[in-house]
């Protein structure tokens, strides 16, 4: 006798060998993603279970303790439970168990990611909408044969882009072929996605970054444009756990210390106020340092790192403690690290942990003389 699948579910037969496992978000049901499944693959069979866990009457696939904080023991149990359901359904309906593609939204995407990390043999590929890192497995799975597509929003108030990148990094580290796509905020005019997607999170994990990773950021800064190619900018830095870390950290105001304590690197940017070749004043030294900083920040974002600039530190103390000569201007500091969960931030900062919009372009540019708005 074939085992009976024990989730409330819908099954729609298909004409191909592929089966889409459709996993709804919180408050959804077994019918919600059927139209999406048909849109994604008109020929695939569709298997769509309803989550067994109820949160205020709304179905979910596993328990959570708070927004973005998962009950890990329940998550592991429910992941195995769902995997058993897929295996039973394959036997019951006769579809190929080695060609199941999970399509998950939010809570459904998170349990699909959990299945990849804990039971990788169940899924051949995944499509994840608004997913987070569900857990970090004790043993890294082999996902070298698995393709993963992740869709996220640049201005998602629940899942910051840093969290999406952390998930992608975890899956890539296990060998998965990961493609990421962002639903972007709408610019007034079309621009490159790197410029639009970059933002300044604060949540960092406290993990170290390698010297090679860090040097790539400084290398990007090196290629910034500058007046007469004078490259007036300089950067002083300290890595977590080194003799200089505490000196740099103590420069920060308390409001920045509460989150920058989890950075891997702290950087102080300075610029020389005079040209090296003739010692004449350089009017654009700060402007040129800003160009180097932007390259630094963009490269960090491209590498999946958190890069957050700051003016909240003691400028005079920085000059004294770091022995910065008078001919240099202290410009700004930056914290660099690997992405962390926003729940690790103080509550007030959690509410701000999302990309910001920009004012209208017409408020910033003028053809001809300056005009007040």
- Measured distance CA(349)–CA(77) in Å, rounded: 32
3-state secondary structure 85-133: HHHHHHHHHCCCCCCEEEEEECHHHHHHHHHHHHCHHHCCEEEEECCCC
- Measured distance CA(230)–CA(275) in Å, rounded: 7
Among residues 188, 189, 210, 357, the one annotated as catalytic is 189
Is 106 tagged catalytic? yes
Is 124 tagged catalytic? no
Q: What is the DSSP letter of 339?
A: B
- Measured distance CA(252)–CA(257) in Å, rounded: 6
Is 188 tagged catalytic? no
Q: What is the DSSP letter of 252?
A: B
Nearest to 31 by CA among 19, 23, 39: 23
Among residues 41, 71, 84, 156, the one annotated as catalytic is 156
Among residues 24, 32, 48, 106, the one annotated as catalytic is 106
340 within 8 A of 206, measured Cβ to Cβ: yes
What percent of the chain is helix, strand and coil (3-state, nearest 5)? 35, 25, 45
Catalytic site positions: 106, 156, 189
């Amino acid at each position: 006798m074939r085992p009976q699948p024990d989730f409330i579910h819908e099954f729609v037969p298909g004409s191909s060998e592929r089966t889409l496992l459709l996993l709804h978000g919180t408050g959804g049901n077994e019918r919600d993603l059927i139209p999406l499944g048909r849109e994604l693959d008109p020929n695939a069979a569709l298997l769509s279970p309803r989550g067994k866990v109820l949160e205020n009457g709304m179905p979910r696939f596993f328990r959570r303790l708070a927004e973005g904080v998962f009950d890990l023991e329940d998550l592991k149990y429910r992941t195995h439970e769902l995997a058993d359901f897929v295996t039973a359904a394959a036997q019951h309906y006769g579809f190929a168990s080695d060609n199941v593609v999970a399509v998950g939204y939010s809570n459904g995407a998170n349990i699909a990611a959990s299945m990849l990390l804990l039971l990788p043999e169940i899924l051949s590929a995944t499509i994840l909408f608004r997913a987070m890192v569900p857990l970090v497995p004790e043993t890294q799975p082999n996902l070298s044969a698995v393709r993963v597509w992740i869709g996220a929003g640049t201005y998602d108030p629940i899942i910051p882009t840093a969290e999406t990148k952390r998930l992608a990094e975890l899956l890539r580290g296990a060998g998965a072929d990961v493609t990421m796509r962002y639903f972007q905020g709408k610019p007034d005019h079309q621009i490159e996605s790197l410029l639009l997607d970059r933002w300044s999170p604060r949540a960092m994990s406290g993990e170290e970054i390698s010297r090679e990773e860090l040097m790539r950021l400084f290398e990007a800064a090196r290629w910034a444009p500058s007046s007469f190619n004078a490259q007036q900018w300089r950067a002083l830095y300290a890595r977590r756990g080194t003799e200089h870390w505490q000196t740099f950290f103590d420069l920060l105001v308390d409001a920045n210390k509460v989150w920058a304590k989890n950075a891997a690197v702290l950087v102080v940017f300075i610029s020389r106020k005079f040209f090296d070749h003739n010692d004449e004043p350089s009017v654009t030294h700060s402007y040129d340092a800003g160009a180097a900083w932007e390259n630094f920040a963009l490269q960090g974002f491209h590498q999946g790192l958190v890069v957050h600039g700051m003016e909240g530190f003691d400028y005079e103390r920085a000059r004294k403690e770091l022995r910065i000569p008078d001919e240099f201007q202290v410009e700004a500091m930056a914290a660099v690290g690997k992405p962390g969960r926003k729940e690790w931030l103080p509550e007030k900062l959690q509410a701000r942990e999302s990309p910001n919009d920009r004012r209208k372009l017409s408020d910033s540019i003028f053809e001809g003389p300056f005009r007040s708005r």
